[in-house]
Amino acid sequence: MLVDVGTNTEVVIGNRHRMMAASCPAGPAFEGGQITFGMPSYDGAVESVELVNGRANCRTIGGVEPRGICGSGLVDLLAQLRSGGQMNHLGAFLDGGNEFFFAPEQGMSLTRADISALAQAKSANYSGQYIVLRNYGAPLEEISRLYLAGAFANHINVDNAMQIGFIADFSPGKITKMGNASLEGATLMLISGKMRQAAEELVRRVEHIELEATPDFFDIFVEGCMFKPMAGTFGAPDEA
């Protein structure tokens, strides 16, 4: 299974005999858009977070003072708030507050509005993976490997990502990070006619799934907005 994470996340599952794919319009939230102190992965971006006694220990790109928080930091922060008992599965703060200061010295916080935007972006990823896995008809334990592609996915903590349902709940040993696979693939097709022909033949065999045409898409999307792991088994489409 391949998950190429970005503003549009692409999900592909299969083998040499059969392949299915779907495109998930996740939006820019995990790339810094729509988030109060969100930013791309530049120097000063909080890239990882660990909560200790309710306070955030942040590491920034370049080791400089925090200027904002990027996608990998947001995944960590959400998972840490959830596991630390400061946020419930719906994204509400258990103290009744409206924000959590991850960099209090700089006045930087994660707000309820931020969490709502992140929940919807996360759910797009969740829904695409869930529906493709379900339509393919294989439980997670039968999928031999999960390949994570994209610059953002290359830096996420996979345990934290699975904890909040950002990616399917695979055994960590089955997960391989690939980096910018789309750029590498485009380069190969530009320099090799043979690779381009192989890619064109492969595309014709892929079964494309329109997520919005799935009868229970809305129910799956609502489930995906919750901050909890994805189920490991999937019923047939008419059973969900």
Any idea where the domains of the chain sit in the sequence?
Answer: 2-28+120-207+215-230, 30-114
Does residue 240 have a pLDDT over 50? no
Calpha distance 71→81 (Å, rounded)? 15
Three-state SS for 60? strand
Contacts with 66 (C-beta within 8 Å, 6 or more apart), sequence order: 44, 45, 46, 58, 60, 103, 106, 108
Strand locations in the chain (E): 2-4, 8-14, 19-25, 45-52, 55-60, 68-69, 99-103, 108-111, 146-149, 175-179, 206-208
Q: CA 75 to CA 175: how far, in whole Å?
A: 17
Q: Is 96 exposed, middle or buried (0-12, 13-18, 19+ CB in 10 A)?
A: exposed
Residue (of 122, 172, 120, 117) closest to 148 by Cα position:
172
Please check whether residue 19 is in contact with residue 205, taking contact to mean a CB–CB distance below 8 angstroms.
Answer: yes
Asked if pLDDT for residue 237 goes beyond 50, the answer is no
Determine the pLDDT at residue 238.
41
Does residue 226 have a pLDDT over 90? yes
Q: What average pLDDT does range 49-57 have in this prediction?
A: 94
| pLDDT above 60: residue 239 | no
Is the pLDDT confidence value at 136 over 60? yes
- d(CA 124, CA 166) in angstroms, rounded, equals 9
| N-term to C-term CA, the chain | 21
Cα separation, 122 vs 82, in Å, equals 15
The pLDDT-based confidence of 198 (bands split at 50, 70, 90) is: confident
The helix/strand/coil state of 4 is strand
Res. 234 pLDDT band, cuts 50 70 90: low
